[in-house]
Amino acid sequence: MPSSDQQPELPTCLFCKIVAGVIPSHKVYEDEWFYAFHDIHPAAPIHFLIVPKLHIPSMAHLTEEHTALMGQMMTLAPRLALEQGCRPYPEGGFRIVCNTGTEGGQEVHHLHMHVMGGPRPWARKQ
């Protein structure tokens, strides 16, 4: 894991403010490294975001030092998806989206994983 002082929070970043509790959110999960919360505009019956507490702007900024962190994030997602009510694989399941950069559809430049699931049809594509 990277050391927590490596990429400190960015005071102007929306998701850093959510992690710090400066902007309120509906918390799904929290540990030393991650914070998960419900998306304010859900695109599916279940839609939450997982963010690393470290301010990493996007997937494009990942280096080898983030391998363990991202591995944790990928294994956290299915666990939280089930806890949030996604039905088990294969009938249920979930979708994970990591928008990256402007052409990738990223609006908030703090790396985050969308986890979406629940009965279809969904509201829109993320």
User: Using the rule CB under 6 A, is 120 a contact of ligand 5GP?
Assistant: no
- How many Å apart are CA 84 and CA 63, to the nearest integer? 30
User: Using the rule CB under 6 A, is 84 a contact of ligand 5GP?
Assistant: no
Long-range contacts from 20-24, C-beta under 8 angstroms, 24+ separation:
none
**Tokens found for residue 113:** 């994983």
**Tokens found for residue 29:** 């999960």
Which residue in the set 1, 7, 10, 100 belongs to the binding site for Zn ion (CB under 5 A)? 10
Contact 84, 77 (CB under 8 A): no
Active site residues: 112
Which residue in the set 80, 99, 111, 115 belongs to the binding site for ligand 5GP (CB under 6 A)? 99
| Residue 105 site contact among ligand 5GP, Zn ion, none (CB < 5 to 8 Å, cut-off depends on kind) | ligand 5GP
Minimal distance, residue 7 CB to ligand 5GP, in Å: 18
